[in-house]
Amino acid sequence: MGAAQLSAQGITVPAPAKLNLFLHVTGRRADGYHLLQTLFVFIDLADQLTISVRADGQFSRIALGYADEVAEADDLVMRAARMLQQEAGTTLGANIRIEKRLPMGGGLGGGSSDAASTLLALHRLWGLHWPRDRLATLGLRLGADVPVFVHGHSAWAEGVGEILQPVDVESFFALLVMPPRGVPTPMIFRDPELTRNSPALKMASFPAGGLRGLAAAQKQFLAAQRNDLQPVACRLVPEVTEHLAALDQVSRESWFGQGGGISGARMSGSGACVFALFDTEEQARTAQQALPSGMKSFVARGLNQHPLHGEEWATRV
């Protein structure tokens, strides 16, 4: 997965997945949205978008690899493009080709990441020169996970996921296992049994920056946390329980296992994907080979920076 590439067809940009290394629900806003504390990191598993400018103000979409039909009007990519056009007051439009590799309903933020990469690419192609915060605020209207992709650094997140503090997580490889069906996010958040009052942690409790034994400290910290959405997803979707158990079986060498956690594996976001983190690619691949046959899995590298967060993009956004 590279950064942006320009060609005669337009600009090609990746839209990487995220993982929530932990996720606590600490409260609920008056509008029903949940207050969270979570740690977002990116991985090098990505959708890909190719976007070119249209002078006539219209939009077109070519959608490849979608597991389910998504109407153009509901597609977060097209909603992002139209919203940016309206807010910017531009007369330009775009042709957008989406190649989907990330699962839908996986908890990997695929739709949000596609929307964020669309905003970043169109912002550049249309020459808008907005501050990054303005683009992230617009992205928040599309979904709570969009701002972290716009800001482009792994982050400790609060609020509904939009109050972001960049953090560096030690390098890792993730083994991801994807149950055959996805989990709809609203179904998890509206469940009456969801824990909604986890005590808030202090961000300073996350071990970072120049500490000796940083990797061990981060593993220990993360192993002691959890994903509050996981018990609900396990109850509503038995495949999540089954895939977690299978991944846990092969993940005692994983970060959560080494850190003393009760399980080596954890769910990302509202599921259904589950993951385990390893120090090396070899450990992740060895664990992958020991999974029951027929389980869909990927090995991916952890990234502290979104691939579009480089110099070139930073000066333009």
Residues that bind ligand C5P (CB under 6 A): 33-34, 36, 143-145, 160-161, 185-186, 189
Nearer to ligand C5P, 33 or 66 (CB): 33
Least distance in Å: CB of 34 to ligand C5P? 4
d(CA 186, CA 262): 28
Q: Are 182 and 103 in contact (CB under 8 A)?
A: yes
Least distance in Å: CB of 237 to ligand C5P? 16
Least distance in Å: CB of 227 to ligand C5P? 13
Residue in the structure block whose two tokens are 């080709």: 97
Is 100 a catalytic site residue? no
d(CA 127, CA 112): 22
Catalytic pick from 18, 47, 228, 248? 18
Nearer to ligand C5P, 144 or 273 (CB): 144
Q: C-alpha 148: how far from its chain's center?
A: 8
Least distance in Å: CB of 38 to ligand C5P? 9
Nearer to ligand C5P, 150 or 223 (CB): 150
The amino acid that residue 128 corresponds to is: L
Nearer to ligand C5P, 34 or 124 (CB): 34
Is 18 a catalytic site residue? yes
Nearer to ligand C5P, 186 or 209 (CB): 186
Cis omega (within 30 of 0) for bond into 272: yes
Nearest alpha-carbon partner for 38 in 191, 113, 148:
148
Nearer to ligand C5P, 36 or 81 (CB): 36
Least distance in Å: CB of 112 to ligand C5P? 7
Catalytic pick from 47, 75, 114, 145? 145
Least distance in Å: CB of 236 to ligand C5P? 14
Nearer to ligand C5P, 126 or 189 (CB): 189
Q: C-alpha 231: how far from its chain's center?
A: 20
Residue partners of 299: CB distance under 8 A and separation at least 6? 173, 174, 175, 176, 281, 284, 285, 288
The CB-side HSE value for 118 (13 A sphere, CA atoms) comes to 31
Least distance in Å: CB of 251 to ligand C5P? 27
**Active site (catalytic) residues:** 18, 145
